[in-house]
Amino acid sequence: MEKLNVPDIITVDKQDFTLIVWTRNVSAKQKKLKAALTKRAQSADLPAQDFSLQQEDGEEQFDKPLFFENTEYEFEFIFKKHLSVEKIEPEIAHHYAALADAFHPKKRTNSLAGTINFRNHLGKATLPLRYRTTDGLQEVPVSFTVWPTKMDLGSDFEAIFRDFLPDYYEWRYALVAPTEHSFKRQRSRQKDFPLLWLAHFKSLWKVLQQQTQLIINAPHNRLLTYKKKLRAERIKGKIPARLEQKISSDFSAGQYARRYTVAKKKLSVDTPENRFIKFAISTMLLRLDQLEKMTKKKESARESADYGLSEHFFTDLKSWKGALTKLHRAPLFKELSPFNGLKNDSLVLQQRTGYSGFYRAWQELKMYLDAIGEGASLSVKSMDELYEVWCFLKIKKLLEECGFEVASHESANIQQAGLEWQTKDGFGGAFRLEKRGIKIRLSHEVTFCKTKGEVRTLTVNQKPDIVLEAEFDSGETLIWLFDAKYRLESKSDDTDRVPDDAINQMHRYRDSLLYKSMNGYSRPVFGAFALYPGYFDQSSSVDVNVYQTAIEELGIGAFPLLPSEGISGDNWLRLFLSQKFGDGSQFTYASYLDSADRFYVEEPPRIPTYGMTQFRNASKTLLVTSAEDHRAPGYYEQFHDGSASFFHMRCEASERENIEEQIMLSLKYLIIASRPSNEQTPRVATRKWKVKAVTKVRRSALTYEQTGKAISASLSELYWLFSIEDAGQLTSPISKPDGHHILEFIHNEKVANSLKKQKYEQP
């Protein structure tokens, strides 16, 4: 690749080589990070770039970040003339195959070169350079931090990880990745997690090895008393008085061949402390052997597992096992008895050189689930994976804020696969949440296909990130889709937008999924929305979601969603879910709080095919009251004898009860409570009326026949005019006292008759 006229971002000269790092244009990435941090803090400075070429040399600081996600970097180690790449065999011994394979030696330039793109992996990256000289194997780790351009690596990353606890604690870790992270001390659920143990072992390996060697060179020993039977002439040293008398007595009796028990003392290394050291080494060997089996026991990462392991992983694993085996075979450990535990605290393990260091390291390794220290670094999944699952958990959390309770799930959504934990995708690992009248199934990465399921596609399979299914007491199920996109669109202004292809994908999801029933196909998806890491001050009225109009009118759009606390990064999504499922819904009448009908009056599902009109056929029955003033003779009687043809009502009445216009237009039946005569008798409903047509007209357009009254002064006031016909007599009349101008939906006539009678009749 031909380099542009852009200077190398890093050049470091060492005794054996010169390292040069180059990328096309890092200033654009710095500006993006600067903009992201400034939006959060209003006056944020760019963090310094750490860079270490060798651990003992310490870190070098640069004024601005140089390494970023989704950016290609050229690394070139140019070796000095006294070192030839053919002889020194340089390599990047990274456990991640993609990084190890990216480097290759160049004879022409006597260098080791490679191009790396860290994709969406953030955190500390280490490139372990290895080469051989006359002094042996040389290891030079090159370490630096890879920064994001859309988030704050500190606060956002920590906030995301906090939301993974406790159910997704293990899922976030990866066996190998281009970057690693150090974690603060925290408690974990007590389950075996080999991946954490391996990370801890790597961080403690040198300490364990050094301390064991100190123990072998200067083992702890003590005087042990043992008894031995000897003939008198072989007993040396001072003889106890009683034994001397016994020997003298036996000699007097002529018993010269008799043997006597003598107590002897000698230094021995067969101590509980040494037995403990041997046991610990044996345990680590067994653990490493188990890890090797879990990764298929093969030398080639291509043939082992789908972790992306390089051959250096297995080489290092064998190296650790070989070193431990060599220590375990030391003469010291051959003289020891079996280890039966430590009955008491040992000052040797706590204070003696070698033993104390080994014991402390062993305790930390033993308690790896409870003590993740700063020294242990672990690989984690890429940020796009983390962001996707975090969005899934965030929606679940926001639904709980709407009053839903988790009915089932526990930790069934993740399962161990080898050394890593994976999500159990699809409906099998879904959260199930419930509240009055609504059951929600929140699923991750459901695959909709052509061959099975009530909801399916007719073309190609679709796999949205997050599927929210809401089932209502009526039996209807509605679907909302969400897709997490860890990307931002590059625009000329500073407004954070999701890429255009993400919006196109939402249209595809909504239009491709169909519900198959006996009556044919229908569209079950009421909305499809992208979630992306855009920043807006969602706590104020200054910033407005740039996709709000599309969300309200089309049911397609996006929500910016960020994890950091204190910046209101989720308010717009919270408000959206609250309006759909919260108790603070704009629908205040009880019959619609628990019904799917209220979603059909929104704009997106009512968009018809060109040239057609679309209504919700819900067979709704509305209980209404007639006017209280005097009308033409026989006007009220017609609502009781079945001869009425029209009924009119002020639009103000339905607006006062927050009944949507589309609901009024789609009414199928009316129950009209009116006085049976012009006398001052209570209003009562005796018949059910079928609605043939509904129109909104001004008072000036209503006739005397329709209203039973002459035209009033307010000619411009809007009225609902119902064209009706008799649908039969009610089994039980419904009485309403004067002054109660209440509109009420009736779902079941038998239930309504019994309840309404108690509710409206005079005491």
Q: Are residues 448 and 365 in the same domain?
A: no
CA distance 527 to 546: 17
Structural domain contains residue 25 = yes
What was the pLDDT predicted at 351? Answer: 86
In a domain, 339, yes or no: yes
Question: For 340-463, where are the E strands, in sequence order?
Answer: 377-380, 405-408, 414-417, 420-423, 426-435, 438-444, 455-456
In eight-state DSSP terms, residue 674 is B
- Shared-domain flag, residues 652 and 715: yes
| Ramachandran region, residue 2 (left: φ > 0; alpha: ψ -120 to 50; beta: rest) | beta
Who contacts 271 (Cβ-Cβ below 8 Å, separation ≥6)?
A: 220, 221, 222, 348
Q: Could you give the number of structural domains in the chain?
A: 5
Are 537 and 432 within one domain? yes
The residue from 268, 302, 326 where one domain ends is 268
| Residue 308, SS3 per DSSP | coil
Helix axes 194-217, 272-294, angle to 10 degrees: 140
Q: How far is residue 105's CA from residue 90's CA, in Å, rounded to a whole number? A: 7
Tokens encoding 68:
């970023």
Domain identity same for 127 and 144: yes
Final residue before a domain boundary, out of 352, 375, 398: 375
Instruction: Note whether 506 and 431 are same-domain residues.
Output: yes
CATH number of the domain residue 663 falls in: 3.10.400
Q: Judge if 202 and 230 occupy the same domain.
A: no
Instruction: Return the pLDDT at 758.
Output: 35
In a domain, residue 167? The reply is no
Alpha-carbon 178 to chain mean position: 20
β-pair partners for 137: 132
Report the C-alpha gap between 580 and 469 in whole angstroms: 12
| Interatomic CA distance for residues 167 and 382, integer angstroms | 19
Q: Are residues 263 and 306 in the same domain?
A: no
359: left (phi over 0), alpha (psi -120 to 50) or beta: alpha
The answer to whether residue 294 is domain-embedded is yes
Residues 133 and 205 in one domain: no
Examine the fold and report which residue of 346, 375, 404 is the final residue of a domain before the chain moves on.
375
pLDDT of residue 79: 95
Task: Say if 162 falls within a structural domain.
Answer: no
Q: What are phi and psi of 403, to 5 degrees?
A: 105, 0
The 3-state DSSP class for residue 282 equals helix
Within the chain, which residues score under 70 in pLDDT?
Answer: 1-6, 42-43, 55-58, 183-193, 225-226, 296-307, 367-376, 409-429, 492-493, 564-567, 584-598, 600-603, 606, 609-619, 628, 677-680, 712-713, 736-763
Rounded to whole angstroms, the Cα distance separating 685 from 670 reads 10
Q: What is the pLDDT of residue 51?
A: 92
Domain membership of residue 176 (yes or no) is no
Say if residues 704 and 648 touch (Cβ distance below 8 Å).
no
- Whether 236 and 344 map to the same domain: the answer is no
Measured from the Cβ of residue 88, the count of other Cβ atoms closer than 10 Å reads 22
Note whether 707 and 575 are same-domain residues. no
Tokens linked to 660: 């949507």
On whether both 59 and 114 belong to a single domain, the answer is yes
Residues 404 and 522 in one domain: yes
CA atoms of 666 and 645, how far apart (whole Å):
18
Kindly give the pairing relationship between strand 556-560 and strand 525-532.
Answer: parallel
Looking at residue 618, what is its pLDDT?
Answer: 56
Cα angle: 50, vertex 54, 59; to 5 degrees: 25
pLDDT at 334: 86
Could you tell me if residue 262 is inside a domain? yes
Residue with tokens 């034994």: 243
CB 33, CB 68: distance < 8 Å: yes
d(CA 158, CA 266): 58
pLDDT reported for residue 757 = 39
- Calculate the alpha carbon distances from 67 to 5, 32, 44, 47, 546 in Å: 19, 13, 19, 12, 31
The residue segments making up the domain with residue 420 are 384-600
Residue 661: φ, ψ to 5°: -60, -40
Reported as half-sphere exposure (CB side, CA atoms, 13 A), residue 80 has a value of 7
Residue 122 covered by a domain: yes
